[in-house]
Amino acid sequence: MKCMFYKCSSLKNLDVSHFDTSQVKDMSYMFACCDSLKSLDVSHFFTS
């Protein structure tokens, strides 16, 4: 998922509540440069 939404500058809303992140190794820069993104709920992300 590294750089998955990188530079999606027009992205305003995104529902990630159903993303399965249990096997993800790298989330770095996932939302970098998403300048129009107002809020993002990643509370359901499995990060341990």
pLDDT 10s digits, 1-48: 999 999 999 999 999 999 999 999 999 999 999 999 999 999 989 888
In a domain, 45, yes or no: no
At residue 22, the pLDDT reads 92
At residue 9, the pLDDT reads 94
Residue 2 sits in which domain range?
Answer: 1-14+27-38
In a domain, 20, yes or no: no
Q: Give pTM, 2 decimals.
A: 0.75
At residue 24, the pLDDT reads 93
How many domains is the chain built from?
1
Q: Kindly report each contact of residues 26-31 with a partner whose C-beta sits within 8 Å and lies 24 or more positions away, as own/partner.
A: 26/1, 26/2, 27/1, 27/2, 28/2, 28/3, 29/2, 29/3, 30/1, 30/2, 30/3, 30/4, 30/5, 30/6, 31/5, 31/6
